[in-house]
Structure 1
Amino acid sequence: MKRKDFLKKSVFSIGTFFTIPTLVSCNNDTNNSNDIENESGLCEITPSETKGPFPIKTPSDLVRENIISDRQGVPLLINLTIQNKDCETLNDVLVDVWHCDKDGNYSEYGGIQMQTTNYTDVHFLRGRQTTDTNGQASFISIYPGWYNGRAPHIHVEILNSNKTSLLITQIAFPEDISGSVYSSSLYASHGQANTSNSNDNVFSDSIDNEMGIVTGNLNDGFTISQTITVNN
């Protein structure tokens, strides 16, 4: 997403004004800086991860760039570039994202031991976009919180135009930035994450390939950029 487009989509959350992240460019130089090539010169496939425990139930009903809904938090722009193993960007593929709110809760679920707060009838922090001619898709969101046993993360699923899944993966956050966010007033009541990236059961063996590139600050918001490579 270009800066001028994001400026047009500035948003409000209940009781909180969302200012604009200072770095929101979605260009190839930024997003491809976390490409990893293997010995054959091909781009390394992004690790496949679990879809659960709170996947999107009806992603085709959630085609939208702004996935915040009524959630409060530090602004986050999610910039994703999708490519194949030959390092060629893929246009017209579907990108689904979902993550928890600042208190560690997911929409579409609740009333269970893992998440007692019931959000079964709402659909915040979930969305679908189609990649453009540069293989890119963007989402306007908030910095995710955390829940017991998991480091902060974003879930992503890539599907082709026939809605066949090409990859399910997750994106990690730098711990120093998460620590700063969780010390801020909006997040402080939930405390610091109790699981590090190195102790996380998803990221512990794959963090180098799943760490997002985060820029920005608490006052203006953050941008997380990631290039995802599918076996296609």
Structure 2
Amino acid sequence: MEDDDKPVGRILSRRRALAVFGAAGVTFTAVGTAVATNADAAAETTTTPSCVAKPEMTEGPYFVDEGLNRSDLRVDTSDGSVVAGAKFHLVLHVLQLAGSQCKPLPGATVDIWHCDAAGVYSDIAAEGTTGKNYLRGYQVSNRGGIVKFTTILPGWYQGRTVHTHVKIRTTGTDGNAYEFTSQLYFTEQFKTAYLAQAPYAAKGTPDTTNDTDMHYADIGDQMLLTPTRTSDGYEAAFAIALDLSDTAVGADDSFQTPGGPGGTPPTGTPPTGTPPTATPSA
């Protein structure tokens, strides 16, 4: 098993990101937590989320291109089981930088993947999960640049802070394939609250915080989600703007950042069963 997480693409520091996108007149603003509950309806509106230029981060060894076009990632199609955990609705707004403005980017393939409540990824031989595909899948952004996922809040494993991976594949302005890969994070306060509840609590206290995670350092605060409570779990919205003329980002291996391993591969047995009806409080 290779180290988690191998750097891919160009990883921008906060200072570098500000220099690159600030020069283009892009305003760095925080994205609100309001979630579009109907992606098709949202596409009809004229309101565009705040234009936010985001940095690439590492892919890691756990990406598997399952080819699963689905919105609900909780089901393992190999046996029909549903992964246990706090239900989480994630809406991503995929945008294209156009000068100092952003516009929705339709037709982009957006994958997300993350570990389960016990810190285990599906379809990884070393984890004993070959053939399973829970907590993996993709959606294609609609005309409003929106994709919607239903998943669970991720657990943790040794050497990494809690995170969710995201990969966006589309076509660059040069007509070539363009791939953006990054990670999404949560605040310490939010993580502490839900990780203390079942089924996460069985894993114990995380050994790595955002501040001590080598991949979060310097740029992770640009990728923070701010979930809010819903009647059945949590929800969050996040905007990712892409500069499709930047071939250094679009080519996923054009820039390598030196560094050591990003964490010890997770261990454990993937939980199965129906998600709990009660959800933890933040």
- Give TM-score, length-normalised by structure 1: 0.76
2:237 is aligned, of 225, 228, 231, to 225
Instruction: Tell me which residue corresponds to 1:140.
Output: 150
Q: Relative to 1, partners in 2 of residues 1:223 and 1:180: Cα closer, same or farther, differing over 3 Å?
A: same
Deviations 1:34-87 (A, max 9, x none): x44xxxxxxx2x1111111200233x2x01001101210000011100112231
Runs of 4+ with >4 A deviation: 26-31
Match of 1:13 in 2: none
Aligned to 2:117: 102
Q: Secondary structure at the match of 2:103?
A: coil
| 1:97–1:179 CA distance, 2 compared to 1 (3 A) | same
Q: Tell me, which stretches of 5 or more residues in structure 1 are unaligned?
A: 1-22, 37-43, 112-116
Count residues in correspondence: 193
What is the percent sequence identity of the aligned residues? 28
**Greater Rg, structure 1 or structure 2?**
2
- 1:14 maps to none
Whole-angstrom distance in 2 between the partners of 1:30 and 1:150: 36
Distance across 2 between alignment mates of 1:106 and 1:31: 34
Shift of 1:220: 3.0
TM-score, with structure 2 as normaliser: 0.63
Name the structure 1 match of 2:73.
Answer: 67
Unaligned runs of 5+ in 2: 1-33, 76-81, 245-282
Distance (Å, rounded) in 1 between the aligned partners of 2:46 and 2:166: 21
Determine the C-alpha separation between the residues in 2 that align with 1:230 and 1:75: 28
Structure-2 separation of matches of 1:68 and 1:30? 31
1:197–1:203: 8 Å Cα contact kept in structure 2? yes
SS for the counterpart of 1:193 is coil
Structure 2 distance, partners of 1:201, 1:216, is 29
| TM-superposed deviation, 1:24 | 4.7
Displacement, 1:30?
Answer: 10
Tell me the residue number matched to 1:41: none
Q: Which residue of 2 aligns with 1:129?
A: 139
Contact 2:123 2:129 in 1 (8 A): yes
- Alpha-carbon distance change, 167 to 77 in structure 1, aligned in 2, over 3 angstroms: same
**CA–CA separation in structure 2 for the residues paired with 1:173 and 1:157:** 18
> For each residue in 1:180-202, what CA deviation from the matched residue of structure 2 results, as whole angstroms up to 9, or x when unmatched?
11111211110222211121111
Distance 1:88 1:24, change over 3 A: closer
Residue of structure 2 in register with 1:157 after alignment: 167
Output the amino acid matched with 1:220: D
**Matched residues in 2 for 1:124 and 1:29: separation?**
35
Contact 1:73 1:186 in 2 (8 A): yes
Kindly provide the amino acid, as one letter, of the partner of residue 215 in structure 1: T
Q: Which residue of 2 aligns with 1:20?
A: none
What is aligned with 2:267? none
Residue among 203, 213, 218 paired with 1:190: 203
